[in-house]
């Protein structure tokens, strides 16, 4: 019996060798012959083309360098990379797609659609909008920052869902893009010769970038939409900094879709205040709280009105129109109602003072 079993096993083994040996295409993916790609950078190129770049992340000891090709299509860029590098570049480790703000303003659906058709690319890949020349920044930092591509990826991963900056992956962007009541957003960074700095949240109308939040709008956006928390809330106009700010946001829309009431309960500690303020008594602290509340109410109202004028809804206000027995609004219906809605904002701030205060 043992001899018979051995013959059967031998026959099966030979058949396996023959089958694999007759395969028309054999991929030799030896470790020393491939290199994983961490990011693609897409910028405006020559003659309506894209300038597509990536940093070679070698698996052996060698100097890193930036590869760039002029292409009309993304997959053409993959082919171009492999013709310029002695090892095959694999996109299975693609973790970031960095798109210039010029391209984003024209629409990024063609790029996104191409990526979605590639089963090797993860839907958890981060999307980033870049102002300035990203290639120039990378080249200036190659000898300064070790493993620069991995450093950028770890930065995005660290701040994901922390409320300090907007971090969005491909899956989240596509979900918002196809929602009738949610405008997509992406983080916007500015690339300089030596700096790669977060600028704010890029707001999209369909697949086109139309607006980027300024410093105060960004803080309001993070409080209202992201994680309802800021480690520091800085208001330069009033010369103060609040620390560990938590927001309890209540949003209500009337049945006629004519009025939006936004109530925000803020709790935080007073970390720093300008010299002109004397907050040693409860009365003066209460007066200061009221001044901050009025300022935030005004600024938040102006921010919401700007969103209404552009007919975008990155804060997902439209989801509050959904009810158990109501018919969901389509994109055009919600856009029209959102644009005409009256906005009322109310802040209630509770501060922990810098020092013990006296009761009057």
How far is 211 from 138, CA to CA, in rounded Å?
Answer: 26
DSSP 191-226: E-SS-EEEEEEEEEETTEEEEE--HHHHHHHIIIII
Question: Which tens digit of pLDDT belongs to each residue from 61-107?
Answer: 677 888 888 888 877 777 777 777 766 667 777 889 999 999 999 99
CATH second-level architecture of 214-360? 2-Layer Sandwich (3.30)
> What pLDDT score does 331 carry?
85
Average pLDDT in the 148-171 region? 87
Domain residue spans in the chain? 28-212, 214-360
350: nearest Cα among 224, 248, 219:
248
Q: Which of 7-16, 35-44, 311-320 has the highest mean pLDDT?
A: 311-320
- Residue 186: exposed, middle, or buried by beta-carbon count in 10 A (0-12, 13-18, 19+)? buried
H helix intervals, the chain: 2-21, 74-84, 101-106, 109-116, 134-141, 148-159, 170-177, 215-221, 282-310, 331-340
| pLDDT grade for 208, boundaries at 50, 70 and 90 | very high
> What pLDDT score does 246 carry?
93
| pLDDT grade for 30, boundaries at 50, 70 and 90 | very low
pLDDT beyond 70 at 33 = no
Choice between 348 and 117, residue whose per-residue pLDDT is larger: 348
Both structure tokens of 113: 């659609």
Say what percent of the chain tops pLDDT 90.
Answer: 45
DSSP β-ladder status, 208-212 and 196-205: antiparallel
């Amino acid at each position: 019996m043992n001899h018979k079993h051995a013959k059967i096993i031998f026959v099966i083994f030979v058949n396996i060798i023959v089958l694999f040996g007759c395969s028309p295409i054999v991929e030799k993916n030896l470790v020393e012959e491939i290199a994983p790609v961490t990011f693609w950078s897409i910028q405006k190129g020559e003659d309506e083309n894209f300038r597509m770049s990536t940093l070679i992340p070698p698996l052996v000891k060698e100097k890193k360098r930036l590869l760039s090709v002029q292409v009309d299509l993304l997959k053409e860029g993959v082919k171009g990379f492999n013709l310029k590098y002695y090892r095959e570049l694999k996109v299975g480790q693609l973790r970031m797609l960095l798109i210039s703000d010029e391209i984003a303003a024209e629409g990024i659906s063609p790029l996104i659609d191409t990526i979605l058709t590639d089963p090797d690319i993860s839907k958890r890949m981060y999307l980033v909008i870049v102002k300035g020349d990203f290639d120039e920044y990378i080249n200036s930092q190659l000898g300064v920052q070790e493993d620069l591509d991995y450093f950028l990826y770890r930065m995005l991963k660290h701040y994901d869902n922390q409320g300090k900056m907007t971090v969005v992956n491909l899956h989240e962007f596509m979900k918002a893009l196809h929602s009738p009541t949610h405008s997509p957003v992406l983080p916007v960074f500015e690339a300089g010769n030596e700096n790669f700095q977060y600028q704010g949240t890029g707001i999209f109308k369909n697949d086109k970038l139309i607006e980027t939040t300024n410093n105060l709008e960004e803080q309001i956006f993070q409080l209202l939409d992201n994680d309802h928390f800021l480690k520091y809330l800085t208001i330069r106009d009033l010369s103060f900094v609040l620390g560990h700010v938590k927001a309890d946001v209540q949003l209500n829309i009337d049945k006629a879709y004519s009025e939006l009431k936004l109530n925000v309960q803020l709790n935080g500690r007073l970390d720093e205040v300008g010299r002109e303020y004397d907050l040693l008594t409860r009365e003066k602290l209460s007066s200061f709280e009221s001044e901050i509340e009025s300022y935030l109410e005004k600024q938040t109202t102006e921010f919401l009105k700007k969103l209404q004028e552009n007919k975008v809804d990155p804060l997902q206000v439209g989801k509050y129109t959904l009810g158990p027995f109501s018919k969901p609004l389509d994109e055009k219906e919600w856009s029209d109602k959102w644009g005409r809605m009256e906005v009322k904002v109310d802040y209630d701030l509770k501060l922990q003072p810098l020092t013990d205060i006296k009761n009057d």
